[in-house]
Chain A
Amino acid sequence: MIINKLVAGQRVLLSGVIYTARDQAHKRIAESLFNEKKPPFDLIGQAIYYVGPAPAKPGEIIGSAGPTTSGRMDVYTPLMLENGIRVLIGKGKRNQDVKAALLKTGSVYLAAYGGAGALLANSIKKADIIAYEDLGPEAIYRLEVEDFPVIVIIDILGNDYYEQVEEHRNA
């Protein structure tokens, strides 16, 4: 994915590999980085999707899989970006530390439709648990997605679409 070309407010379709991680997975990845241990997947150039999927029914790839609120991950995110993550996918606002880290590392923040778990599951073609299975829905999955719809919220120039919406309505 050429993330340099993405512009805040743009709707794009993602295809490729993304990794799921939410609250407890972030905590554990952060702990392994602090302890200079290898994280459960190579973080360089990868995308993290903040999701805890519903269980798959028999014969299905995955259950509903929409984004969770990104802001809870803010405390860990600069560390993730410093260690190679380039794409964040979730929903809702980010804090100033995350924005600064995105700008510094040339990374982007994308929003998937919150609550559209069934629709988004349709774009997931393969799902494998690769770490922290004991966390249940908070385990890390490696997902292969096709035409996964997202809106660019923060681009590599630091433009923030939520802020643009706010400025527009205050204008």
Chain B
Amino acid sequence: MKKINCEQISMEVAKLCIEANCLLGVDMQKAFNVAIEKERTDLGVEVLKDLKENFEIAKERMMPICQDTGTAVVFIELGQQVEIVGGSFEESIQVGVRKGYQSGYLRKSIVQSPFLRKNTGDNTPAIIHTKIVDGDTLKITVMPKGGGSENVSRLGMLNPAQGREGVAFFVLETLKLAGPNACPPYVVGVAVGGNFEAVAVASKEVLTRDLADKGNSDEAIALEQELLIKINELGIGAQGFGGDNTAFSVKVNIMPCHIASLPVAVNISCHVNRHKSIVIQGVS
């Protein structure tokens, strides 16, 4: 067994929280440049350039790109040859989130009770998804997920008879309902299959893929391409002010499912698509 210490996990999680919130991903930088080239409306170009300036300011001053620094969603891939030492694994992630949000001057957006709505004051609890995988490394991905884009995300348990067409309709309907509200141009995470909870998690996790990556099957790739064209034809545009860039990319994950079901989930990301990963190597 290789060992990884909880203290190191906390430190890395804190760093990921800050970097994911303050620095735009390299793939998203490229997407912005492509979008500006493609945009035919003057206002659209102006908006995209202003958003790029926002990234520059955030990077220069290490301040969050957006004031909504989100729920800290943490995806874990834990190698089965890794032993976590020096404390509780989940607690070490919560400690990291607490540290990152405090030392990075990130906004604390979590309330203890959905009804009483008293702020927990440190942005915990984070939401953690853990997979045990082969190997002797620990991969941590932090995705600060904003409330606006989360609120317009949707899940549908379709009838298998609705098929591929029904899925495409559901995705487009979700985008139409979102309209300008969740800060387009969007990155759209789509999962099809699985079951009620699996499809929801998968539609979010797919947003952490590199923008240049393709779907997990020919079926998925074809759906990604088709949906991207149709979503951009909606003409919502950057910030909903119209134009050619409603979405930068659509990411699709297709999974096996029950004979009675056709689950589909659409998780929408804003134009920043914040997430950052690190792989920690276990030591002997």
Which residues in A have some Cβ–Cβ distance to B below 8 Å? 11, 24, 51-57, 60, 63-66, 68-69, 71, 91-93, 111, 113-122, 135-138, 149, 151, 161-162, 165, 168-169
Q: CB distance B50 to A54 under 8 Å? A: no
B54 touches A69 (CB 8 A): no
A-B CB contact pairs (8 Å), 22 listed: A11-B43, A63-B67, A65-B67, A66-B68, A68-B147, A68-B148, A69-B148, A91-B180, A91-B240, A92-B181, A111-B180, A113-B47, A114-B66, A114-B148, A115-B65, A115-B66, A115-B270, A117-B63, A118-B57, A118-B64, A162-B179, A169-B234
Residues from chain B with Cβ under 8 Å of A52 in the complex: 67-68, 107, 109
Name B58's contact: one of A24, A57, A65, A118 (CB within 8 Å).
A118
Measured in the bound complex, the distance between the Cα atoms of B148 and A111 in whole Å is 15
Main DSSP-derived SS at the B contact region: loop
B91-116 CB contacts (< 8 Å) to partner A? 105-109
Contact A113 B148 (CB under 8 A): no
Q: Are B64 and A114 in contact (CB under 8 A)?
A: no
Query: Cβ of B61 < 8 Å from any Cβ of A?
Result: yes
Q: Which residue of A lies closest to B183 (CB)?
A: A114
Beyond A91-B183, A113-B47, A116-B51: 14 further Cβ-contacts under 8 Å?
A: A54-B67, A54-B105, A64-B65, A68-B147, A91-B239, A92-B181, A114-B148, A114-B239, A115-B66, A117-B66, A118-B54, A118-B58, A118-B63, A162-B180
With both beta carbons as reference points, the residue of chain A lying nearest to B178 in the complex is identified as A92
Number of chain B residues close to chain A: CB under 8 A:
45
CA distance A168 to B117 in the complex (A): 41
Shortest Cβ distance from residue B108 to the other chain A in the assembled complex, whole angstroms: 6
CB distance from A53 to the nearest CB of B (A): 5
Residues of B within 8 A of A119 (CB): 50-51, 53-54, 57
Of chain A, the residue at the smallest CB distance from B240 is: A162
- Cβ contacts B230-259/A at 8 Å (1 or 0 each): 000011110111100000000000000000
State in angstroms the CA–CA spacing of A149 and B166 once bound together.
41
**What residue of chain A has the Cβ atom nearest to residue B43's Cβ?**
A11
- Evaluate whether A57 and B179 lie within 8 angstroms (CB atoms) in the complex, with A116-B50, A121-B63, A165-B241 already known: no
Say yes or no: A115 contacts B53, CB within 8 Å. Answer: no
Taking a contact as CB atoms under 8 Å apart, the answer to whether B179 and A92 are in contact is yes
Q: How far is the CA of A162 from the CA of B51 in the complex (A)?
A: 19
